[in-house]
Amino acid sequence: MSTVAARPQTRQGEENFPLGIALAFVAFALYSGMDVTIKLLTQHYAVPQVIALNSLFALGPILAYAALSGGLYNNLRTRRPLYHVIRATCGLFSSFFAFWAYSRMPIADAYALAFTAPLFITALAVPILKEPVGWRRWSAIAVGFVGVLIMLRPGSGLINLGSLAVLAGALFYSIGMLVTRLARNTETSVSFAFYATLASGTVFGAMLPWLGRTPTLHHLGLSALGGTLCGVAFVCLLTAFRKVPAAVAAPFQYTQIIWGVMFGYFLFGDVPDRTLFIGLAIVVSSGLYILYRETVLGRQVTSRAPAE
């Protein structure tokens, strides 16, 4: 479950489709690489320790980007601190559930279930943002969750805590994304990423006296690699959303399933079954249709707006 905190608008004159698409592809590949380090580390350390170290090393690229693209003050100042608290809290739960799930199940399986996030976001936009959702998108949500049921295989005895943790993580992630929408006119994407990452490092770092143990040099290097990949992926994705419309960049998140299958097979010996791919195809199709409908509705609103 990895994506940019909030999608900035593509600025006129900044559009560069080849670069934007390449950056989106690279960003999600880097996020998948980070997830591999998480899965490896959670085999030896408690999840809070893994998150704390990952967050620590992720702050470097985020701060560097903030300093080089407008300055730390302009990027990190906030007028809505409460929104950052809520967003960071959602991030704490989301990252914990996701990282814990990686320790219990194949990465590809976790990705397939995590792709329910667009479904949650669309459904929760009604009570949180008061946005109307038409019958087409509600139908897509319903169909998408049918895909989830197929992957979970209720009645087969295969539903496990890892699967439920991924869905819980996707739910908290979705709430956090909706909070960023509420504050997108006053807060920057960098500020949301920075404060959420700082909160994760601080809160989970505070647990280290009880849950942590001294990492080996090899594992410390693996933590540094994972955190750096996370921070660089954020920078790549944020830049991608400035170069191409969200409707172009966002679908590349689904390329993570390719990396998940490859890493799972070659590094962990995981082989996804046909049922997973059937459910995955339904969930991805639903998510893409929702994105398409939101793009169409956005264009209709823009076309009706008076010229400025």
| Domain spans of the chain, in order of start | 17-300
Segment 189-200 shows an average pLDDT of 96
Q: What is the pLDDT of residue 2?
A: 57
Contact criterion met (CB below 8 Å) for 173 and 117: yes
How far apart are alpha carbons 248 and 241 in whole angstroms? Answer: 9
Which helix (H) or strand (E) is 152 found in, with range?
A: helix 135-152
How far apart are alpha carbons 35 and 224 in whole angstroms? Answer: 13
Q: What is the pLDDT of residue 7?
A: 54
Tell me: pLDDT of 108 over 80: yes
Tell me: pLDDT of 105 over 50: yes
Q: What is the pLDDT of residue 99?
A: 97
Q: What is the pLDDT of residue 184?
A: 83
DSSP state of 11: P
Q: What is the pLDDT of residue 302?
A: 34
Q: What is the pLDDT of residue 15?
A: 81
Q: What is the pLDDT of residue 159?
A: 67
How far apart are alpha carbons 4 and 234 in whole angstroms? Answer: 6
Tell me: pLDDT of 67 over 70: yes
Which pLDDT tens digit goes with each residue over 110-164?
Answer: 999 999 999 999 999 999 989 888 999 999 999 999 999 888 876 555 568 999 9
Torsion over CA: 156, 167, 41, 32 (sign)? positive
- Joined together, the tokens standing for residue 96 give 């914990």
Q: What is the pLDDT of residue 8?
A: 57
Banded model confidence at residue 304, pLDDT cuts 50, 70, 90: very low
Whether pTM exceeds 0.95: no
Tell me how far CA of residue 88 lies from CA of 5, 27, 190, 193, 196, in angstroms: 11, 21, 13, 9, 4
Which pLDDT tens digit goes with each residue over 195-233?
Answer: 999 999 999 999 999 998 999 999 999 999 999 999 999
Banded model confidence at residue 301, pLDDT cuts 50, 70, 90: very low
